[in-house]
């Protein structure tokens, strides 16, 4: 009698976007998958807070690079549109300054250029269109050899540019800072502020980050969508996809150790339960591994990220109330008067700025330009990643709140909460995401090599793989999702090399180049 071989057991530690995507791909290839999420709900940095009996998205608020999720679902023989309704945003963001000026950017590039010409000058409108062409070209150059590559290398990046060699490599604009490049395209200081803000999407400093990151502006200009039900609805759809392919998802299941000898053997839970594993995909902050929070074997398997290179954290407020003064859009950015001072405080002094730039998401404005009842509002300012260090006192938070509401008022808005807001600080983010210090984007990027030396999926410990925002290709929900897919590709290749029979990867969402040789060295 022939006895069928049991499917390999893959344990995914962490139920954020990266972990859930890894679960989908491993499960559809035939692995027995269990996802262990320490929190009460999956989602990771995609989360909700309840205020006044209503849920408010308290993390990422919109989707870009929707192709990442369309390919994830298509490769699993499903369709994203069958499970999530995505509403495109015609106004990408409304921007306000303390001199009373405002500017909208649109999904329509020409409409944005027209608005910029009225706001600033015809020269800046021309500069904007040139900037759009430049950032699109950067994106096209790095999409294949970096974003879609399981293990990108500098040689691969340059090689992908063919005979153009060094001139072609310079075309990805890695040799100057974001700020320097932006100043070459825009004369109006307010526009320089506006486009430099994209560095914060990667938790970085525009005065230090490579100009390659200006591609983020192209990613947003190429399309922004608001999932009906919030980003939480998107995450729940991915979780549902994983379950339909047989993955088990357990919440409030904190992992305290990864057991290993010459390779991964099991995970140990806080409850004392032991789950045997042929492969473990860790989808959390790498500093939790390197810091020994999951045991000595896992700590030796990855390099320790420098604490000095942590990305930005945040202070956030979730509230219901009324906003008066000028009509909010779905996305709104209210700028400080001294951008350099703001980033000096955050990165050089490790302090909250005296005057922050303020982000406001008004989700109820999506279908109603002026809600008649108390609306949901999400307010965020950047903070240094020093959660858990004891410096952030109640007095500091009160001062930050006064400064934040001061910027809002000087930009011509007033907000009246219907009940006390729900505040989240770097201390709470540090507790939610162990090892991170509250940093929300992995490692801040200060040069091209920072991106290229991000750890890839495989580690020094056979059977242990990593995913998430601190892993290639980086921060943000789409990027973390890709990291999960790359971890699944690499893990399944590793299992196949040891004799397990798994279904081959389908074409579409991931590149399998160098999957079996990827490591953190």
Q: Which domain holds residue 385?
A: 312-432
> Angle at CA 141, nearest 5°, toward 209 and 131?
60
In a domain, 97, yes or no: no
pLDDT for residue 289 = 96
SS3 label, residue 63? strand
Last residue of a domain, one of 366, 398, 432: 432
CB 179 within 8 A of CB 192: yes
Give burial (CB, 10 Å; 0-12/13-18/19+) of 402: exposed
Look at residue 368 in the predicted model and tell me its pLDDT. Answer: 64
Residues 149 and 184 in one domain: yes
| DSSP strand pairing (274-276 vs 264-269) | antiparallel
If we measure between CA atoms, which residue out of 76, 132, 54, 14 comes closest to residue 363?
54
pLDDT of residue 175: 87
CATH number at residue 40: 3.50.50.60
User: Which of residues 187, 221, 255 is at a domain's end?
Assistant: 221
Cα 484 to Cα 24: distance, rounded to the nearest angstrom = 9
Question: What phi, psi does 490 have (nearest 5°)?
Answer: -70, -40
Strand-pair category, 86-88 with 375-383: unpaired
**Contact predicate 220/61, CB 8 Å:** no
Q: What is the Cα–Cα distance from 16 to 34, expressed in whole angstroms?
A: 14
* Residue 498 covered by a domain: yes
- Pair 476, 397 in one domain: no
Question: Would you say residue 510 lies in a domain?
Answer: yes
Q: Which DSSP category does 108 fall into?
A: S
> Residue 282 and residue 461: Cα distance in Å, rounded?
12
Q: Are residues 390 and 453 in the same domain?
A: no
Is 247 in contact with 27 (CB distance < 8 Å)?
yes
Q: Determine contact, residues 438/313, Cβ cutoff 8 Å.
A: yes
Looking at residue 453, its pLDDT comes to 74
Report mean pLDDT in 10-residue bins for the chain, 521 residues: 68 98 98 97 96 96 97 98 96 96 97 98 98 96 89 68 56 90 98 97 95 95 96 98 98 98 97 98 96 96 87 97 94 97 97 98 83 88 96 94 97 94 97 95 80 86 96 94 98 94 62 34 32
Residues 46/14, Cβ–Cβ less than 8 Å: no
| 8-state DSSP, 275 | E
- Look at residue 509 in the predicted model and tell me its pLDDT: 46
pLDDT of residue 165: 53
pLDDT of amino acid 201: 94
Q: Does residue 59 form part of some domain?
A: no
Same-domain status, 327 and 289: no
Residues 341 and 256 in one domain: no
Distance CA 325, CA 412 (A): 6
Domain edge (last residue) among 198, 221, 244: 221
- How does strand 375-383 pair with strand 313-324? antiparallel
For 215, other C-beta atoms within 10 Å of its C-beta total 24
Grouping H, G, I as helix, E, B as strand and the rest as coil, residue 188 is coil
One domain, residues 316 and 426: yes
Domain shared by 411 and 489, yes or no:
no
Q: Where do runs of H (alpha helix) occur along 279-381? A: 286-290, 296-300, 339-343
**Tokens 């990613």, located at residue:** 219
The burial of 393, by beta-carbon neighbours within 10 Å (0-12 exposed, 13-18 middle, 19 or more buried), is given as exposed
Number of domains, the chain = 3
In a domain? residue 16: yes
Name the strand (E) or helix (H) holding 105.
Answer: strand 102-106
């Amino acid at each position: 009698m022939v006895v069928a071989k049991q499917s390999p057991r893959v344990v995914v530690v962490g139920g954020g976007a990266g972990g859930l995507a890894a679960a989908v791909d491993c499960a559809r290839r035939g692995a027995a998958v269990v996802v262990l999420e320490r929190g009460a709900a999956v989602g990771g940095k995609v989360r909700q807070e309840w205020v006044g009996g209503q849920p408010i998205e308290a993390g990422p608020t919109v989707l870009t690079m929707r192709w990442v999720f369309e390919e994830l679902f298509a490769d699993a023989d499903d369709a994203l549109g069958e499970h999530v309704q995505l509403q495109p945003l015609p106004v990408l963001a409304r921007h306000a300054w303390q001199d009373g000026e405002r500017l909208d950017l649109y999904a329509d590039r020409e409409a944005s250029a027209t608005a910029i010409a009225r706001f600033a000058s015809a020269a800046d409108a021309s500069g904007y269109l040139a900037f759009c062409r430049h950032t699109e070209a950067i994106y096209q150059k790095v999409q294949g050899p970096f974003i879609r590559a399981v293990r990108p290398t500098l040689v691969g990046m340059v090689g992908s540019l063919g005979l153009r060699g060094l001139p072609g490599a310079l075309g990805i604009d890695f040799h100057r800072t974001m700020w320097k490049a932006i100043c070459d395209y825009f004369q109006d200081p307010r526009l320089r502020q506006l486009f430099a803000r994209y560095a914060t999407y990667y938790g970085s400093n525009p005065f230090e980050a490579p100009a390659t990151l200006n591609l983020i502006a192209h990613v947003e200009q190429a399309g922004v969508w608001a999932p009906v039900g919030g980003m939480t609805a998107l995450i729940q759809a991915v979780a549902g996809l994983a379950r339909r392919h047989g993955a088990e998802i357990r919440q409030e299941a904190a992992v305290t150790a990864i057991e290993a000898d010459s390779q991964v053997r099991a995970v140990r839970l806080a409850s004392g339960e032991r789950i045997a594993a042929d492969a473990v995909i860790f989808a959390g902050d790498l500093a939790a591994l390197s810091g020994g929070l999951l045991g000595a074997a896992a700590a030796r398997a990855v390099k320790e990220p420098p604490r000095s290179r942590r990305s930005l954290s945040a202070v956030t407020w979730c509230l219901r109330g009324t906003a008066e003064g000028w009509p909010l859009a779905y996305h709104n950015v209210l700028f400080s008067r001294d951008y350099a001072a703001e980033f000096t405080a955050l990165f050089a002094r490790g302090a909250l700025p005296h005057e922050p730039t303020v982000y406001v998401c008004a989700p109820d404005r999506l279908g109603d330009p002026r809600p008649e009842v108390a609306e949901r509002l999400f307010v965020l300012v950047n903070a240094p990643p020093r959660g858990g260090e004891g410096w952030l006192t109640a007095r500091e938070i009160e001062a930050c709140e006064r400064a934040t509401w001061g910027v809002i008022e000087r930009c011509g808005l007033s907000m009246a909460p219907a009940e006390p807001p729900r505040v989240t600080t770097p201390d709470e983010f540090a507790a939610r995401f162990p090892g991170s210090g509250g940093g929300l984007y992995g490692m801040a990027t200060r040069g091209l090599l920072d991106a290229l030396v991000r750890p890839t999926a495989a580690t020094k410990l056979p059977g242990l793989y990593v995913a998430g925002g601190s892993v290639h290709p980086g921060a943000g929900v789409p990027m973390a999702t890709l990291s999960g897919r790359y971890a699944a590709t690499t893990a399944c290749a590793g299992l196949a090399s040891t004799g397990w029979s798994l279904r081959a990867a389908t074409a579409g969402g991931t590149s399998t180049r160098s999957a079996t040789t990827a490591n953190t060295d």
